[in-house]
Structures are given as C-alpha cells and as structure tokens.
Amino acid sequence: MTVATIPAPAFAIERFRLANGLRVVLAPDPGAPVVGVAVVYDVGMRSEPEGRTGFAHLFEHMMFQGSHNVGKAEHMRHVQSAGGTFNGSTHIDYTDYFNLLPSNGLELALFLEADRMRGPAITEENLANQVSVVKEEIRVNVLNRPYGGFPWIKLPPVMFDTFANSHDGYGSFVDLDAATVDDARSFFDAYYPASNAVLSVAGDFDLEQARELVERHFGNVEARPAPVHPSFDEPDLSAERRVSYVDERATLPAVAAAWRVPDPVTELDAFLPYVVLGELLTDGDASRLVERLVHADRSATAVAAHCTFMAEPFASRGPTVMLVQAFLPPGTAVEAVLGTVDEELARVAEGVDEDELDRVKARVAAQLLRGDDSVMGRSRRLATAEIFHGDAAMSTRFAGLLGEVTAESVAQAAAALTPRRRAVLEVVPGGAQ
C-alpha cells in the first residue's frame, strides 16, 4: 500500500482571543499587496427557530443596512472607493462577511466589521426592504428557475425528520412576512455576540500593527455570552425513502440520492474517505460515474457527487450527507441510473487501484491548495476551520489528511452506501414540450 504525501501550505498563523470572546486569526503574507478580512459567525440555517425559516439569510442582508457609525449602503461605498470588493453568504452552519482590499485598507475593513458587530441598523424600514429583497431572490433562484432548489432545498426534508435539518433555509414567504423588528433584534442578541465569531485577516500586513488595530476596533465591542448550540443529530435511515415532484420549468429529468456520512468534525477520520470517494466517482472525464453514465451508457447528461449539501466538506458539522445527482436525457429511467450508481459503488467496495486513488487524492488536494492561493479564500477558510475545528491551522492540514486516506477506507465507505440507507429525489420535467 502507498500513501500519497501532500505538502501543507507554509504560512504563519497567529491566534488569540479578545476579552469579549472574539477569536482572532492573523496570517501575514507579503506575496501580494492586498488583505482579506473575514468575519464568520457560528450561526446558519440550521439554527433558525421554527416559524422563522430563512431568518439566517435575511439577517445576512440586514447586516449591510448600516450600523452605529456607517449609513445605509456606506459599507459598499467605502470598500469600493478604496479599490476593494466585499460580500456575505449564509450557509447551513455559519454566516460569513468578507472584504478584499489593498493593503492600506486593513483598518477600514476592521472598522466596518467592528461597527456592525456592535449592532446593525434594525428598523422597520430596513427590515421590510430586506424581506422584499430576499423574497425576490427566492423568486429568481428557486420559484422561477428550472431545478430551483434542487437538490439542496428539496432533498433534506426527504432525508431528515427534524425541523433543524429538514426545513427550507431560504425561507417561506409566510415566515419572512411575519418577521418583526423584535425578532431581528433577538436574533442578533442571540447569535451575533463577539464570542460567537471569528475575525480572520490574511495577506500583506504588519503583524504588530494588525494586533493593535484589532484591539482598537474590536476590543470595546460589548462582551456577551455565546449561544449554546444544541445537538442536531437524528437517527440514520433504516429504509430507502423516495419522493418525486413535477418541475414545470425543467426540460430534462433529474435525480439526486443522498446517504448519511460521519460527522465532519467529531468523526473527521471516518468522514475523509467519503470526500475522496465523491471525487473518484465524478471528478473529471476519467471518473467512474462520468465515464459510465455520461460517456459509455449515455444515460446522464451530467453527474456530480460530493459531501455536504453545499459541497463544503470542511465547513460543516453534525448530520450531513454524501450526495450524487444526475441530469438525464428524455425517456431515461431513473431506476436504471440508480442501478448504475449501485453497481459502481459495489465495484469500488471490491477494491480501488492505488494509482487511481493517488490521482484522485492529488486532484482534490490541489483544489484545496488552490483555495489558499486566494487571499480572500484563505481568510475565510482559516476562520471556518477555527469555528468548526477549534484551530485555524487545521485548514492547512486537510489536503495532507486526504493524502493519507487508504484504498481500504474508500472501499468501506462505498460499501456503506446501500439502497436502504439512501433518500432519493426525482425531478419530473413539466416543460419538455
């Protein structure tokens, strides 16, 4: 047996915590005259209370509506005027805000993020405006789009039973319209304290100066306790579940199948083989399912496999999945495609060639390492590693850990993906004619 040796990125990482509980990660690198500043809050769609679906995403929008010393839309104006870019995003288990600026923009980014950490402008006008914006986003990305919400919104309620794991994180219009200013303030108070966040800075900056600037801007943010995150665990499936629905805008049938996999945080060693398995199945023309379904059988026009619904294996915790999804030519039977997936999984379970495995592990590791080439990507990955694994430096180790995954463990992972443990979602096209 051979084990691929994959080097870890070599850049310095300093970690410390402010008196208010804010965790800080600094990763200086003078290679490019830019800085990436990311703030990640340990709250995502899974944390939403019942009756408040879509609230994590709604609140991400609210955080751009001004704060104590920053007016509405001024965050955008300040960053862009300084030659930078910015954004925010909501995920199943976290929400992040990030800025990329020339090196001399470090203090500006820190000031802006600290100001809204003290409190966004939660007003009736801002809330109504952003509810309208989020509803329009849902119309564009889900309701009026072919395959909207497939499979990340549509499959969880087939796979899971608890509200936390199964609900629509984009949100229902009923819940969004019912949101009040008091609800928004309560959400901020509960999930947006400094103690529930990580500030990460990467790029071209002086370490001593950065420490002083972080303390100056964030040190007097009010200290409040972090929320206690409940367990979101629930039992695995013991029998296959299947659901189909008609998509009036879809022109081709589609299918997605998902299986529970080990916890990416508490069972990382057991989880890693599934990450490799996903790449082995569908990464590149030589991968098992692409070669079989797309090129040989022509029973799929496209196929993809990955771990977690949002394809971010190292920024998730708790119950999650290995997902395989495919789009099919007209008239192709979903059962035939699922049968082929089962056959290929059984082949992997019988054993994996070391050369093929090394090639696959090198590809997935290269993708992770390329993410560190981007200063913005690096700052975000350091912060999520600190959130989920308690150590930002873990983000530099994932590629190496994947290199240590054995053929035996990948075979065992494939063998565990049996029909009785899966949930299947079928899209029936309503717009073919």
Does residue 3 have a pLDDT over 60? no
Q: What is the per-residue pLDDT across 379-405, written as a single tens digit (0 to 9) for each?
A: 999 999 999 999 999 999 999 999 999
Name the residue type at position 166.
S
Residue 315 CA to residue 91 CA, distance in Å, equals 9
Residue 340 CA to residue 333 CA, distance in Å, equals 11
What is the architecture of the domain spanning 241-429?
2-Layer Sandwich (3.30)
Mean pLDDT of 262-278: 97
Q: Are 379 and 200 in contact (CB under 8 A)?
A: yes
Three-point CA angle 95, 179, 149, nearest 5°? 55
Mean pLDDT of 422-430: 97
Instruction: Determine how β-strand 95-102 pairs with β-strand 34-41.
Output: antiparallel
Residues 6+ away with beta carbon under 8 Å from 158:
241, 242, 243, 423, 424, 425
Please report how many Cα atoms fall inside a 13 Å half-sphere around the Cα of residue 191, on the Cβ side: 28
Asked if domains 14-219 and 241-429 share a fold, the reply is: yes
**What band does 128 get if pLDDT is binned at 50, 70 and 90?**
very high
The pLDDT value recorded for residue 102 is 97
Domain 14-219: top CATH class: alpha beta
CA dihedral 117, 31, 403, 266 (to 10 degrees): -10
Residue ranges of domains in the chain: 14-219, 241-429
Please report how many Cα atoms fall inside a 13 Å half-sphere around the Cα of residue 86, on the Cβ side: 28
Under DSSP, the state recorded for 149 is T
**What band does 432 get if pLDDT is binned at 50, 70 and 90?**
low
Q: Are 328 and 255 in contact (CB under 8 A)?
A: yes
Q: Are 383 and 200 in contact (CB under 8 A)?
A: yes
Q: What is the per-residue pLDDT across 131-183, written as a single tens digit (0 to 9) for each?
A: 999 999 999 999 999 999 999 999 999 999 999 999 999 999 999 999 999 99
Q: End-to-end distance of the chain based on CA atoms, in angstroms? A: 53
